[in-house]
């Protein structure tokens, strides 16, 4: 049977698929702006692992298992504060520029974001879940070529309940790199979207949705360019059975 490549373009798609489960698939999750870009940046800078949580209370509860962990994430793009969490100031927001070696080396980071961590958790019935963005795209493609099974599902985390262009572009760029999989229409849609935009990804991203919102905020603008850097981190990352995202070995 041919290997098939599918892209889930929006939160509605992956939440519906979650009901059925992903037992037959290897998943690759993209939240280019910014959750998966943050995880790859943090791992590159020495973080021990990221624990993606769907909501703030779950993140706080998980810390009892990792008392030395940092708490991270965003709501409305900004670091979670005491008013939102019932009294706890989170240590980090969701800007990749915060995840410096000084702050993250050796640390477990429990994180909850609006879409990225939800998308990762939606896939946790899959036998393997990779965490991807532009910065580790080729390394992810290489890992998949060696390790992925028949059905590969690229999951676009989206923004709120909507599809996000930057995630479709990331998934499309990966479709372009992967040979040997038969592309379903969703994968062809993502690939063609990427091919049409690849000459100037930044313009495509900052003129739409989430990219436009981040670009309009002076403190967050630089994140967009950081999150679009291509292949600066030569490793794949995987969500393990213990719920922790680590570098693939």
- Which of 74, 137, 168, 201 is close enough to bind ligand MLT by CB under 6 A? 74
Does the protein bind ligand MLT through residue 85 (CB under 6 A)?
no
Which conformational region is residue 10 in: left (phi greater than 0), alpha (psi within -120 to 50 degrees), or beta?
Answer: beta
* 41-70 residues near ligand MLT, rule: CB under 6 A: none
Name the residue number minimizing CB distance to ligand MLT: 113
In the bound complex, what is the minimum distance in angstroms from residue 125's beta carbon to ligand MLT?
A: 20
Size of the site for ligand MLT (CB under 6 A): 11
Give the pair of three-digit tokens for residue 248. Answer: 């693939």
34 part of the interface to ligand MLT, by CB under 6 A: yes
Which pair of tokens denotes residue 115? 């879409």
Q: Which of 14, 49, 2 is nearest to 171 (CA)?
A: 14
Cα 173 to Cα 166: distance, rounded to the nearest angstrom: 10
Instruction: Select the span of 27-35, 167-175, 178-186, 239-247 touching ligand MLT (CB under 6 A).
Output: 27-35
The reply on whether position 128 binds ligand MLT by CB under 6 A is no
Which one of 10, 85, 91, 115 is in contact with ligand MLT (CB under 6 A)? Answer: 115
Contact flag: residue 135 with ligand MLT (CB under 6 A): no
Minimum CB distance to ligand MLT, residue 75 (Å): 9
CB of 85 to ligand MLT, least distance (A): 17
Strands 237-239 and 245-247: antiparallel
Q: Confirm or reject binding of residue 116 to ligand MLT (CB under 6 A).
A: yes
Which range binds ligand MLT by CB under 6 A, 26-34, 40-48, 96-104, 175-183?
Answer: 26-34
Which residues of this protein are in contact with ligand MLT, per CB under 6 A?
Answer: 31, 33-35, 74, 77, 94, 113-116
């Amino acid at each position: 049977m041919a290997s098939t490549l599918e892209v889930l373009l929006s939160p509605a798609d992956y939440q519906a698929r979650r009901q059925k489960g992903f037992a037959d698939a290897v998943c690759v999750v993209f939240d280019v702006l910014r959750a998966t870009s943050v995880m790859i940046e943090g791992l590159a800078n020495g973080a021990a692992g990221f624990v993606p949580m769907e909501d703030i209370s779950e993140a706080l509860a998980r810390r009892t298992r990792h008392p030395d962990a940092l708490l991270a994430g965003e709501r409305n793009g900004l670091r979670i504060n005491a008013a939102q969490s019932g009294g706890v100031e989170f240590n980090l927001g969701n800007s990749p520029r915060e995840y410096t070696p000084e702050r993250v080396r050796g640390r477990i980071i429990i994180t909850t974001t609006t879409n990225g961590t939800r998308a990762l958790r939606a896939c946790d019935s899959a036998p393997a879940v990779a965490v991807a963005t532009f910065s580790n795209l080729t390394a992810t493609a290489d890992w998949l070529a060696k390790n992925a099974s028949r059905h590969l599902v690229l999951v676009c985390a989206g923004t709120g309940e909507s599809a996000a262009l930057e995630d479709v572009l990331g998934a499309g760029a990966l479709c372009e790199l992967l040979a040997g999989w038969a592309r379903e229409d969703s994968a062809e849609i993502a690939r063609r979207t990427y091919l049409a935009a690849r000459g100037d990804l930044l313009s495509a991203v900052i003129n739409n949705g989430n990219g436009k919102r981040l670009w309009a905020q002076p403190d967050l603008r630089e994140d967009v360019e950081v999150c679009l850097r291509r292949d600066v981190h030569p490793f794949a990352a995987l969500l393990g059975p213990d719920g922790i995202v680590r570098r693939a070995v």
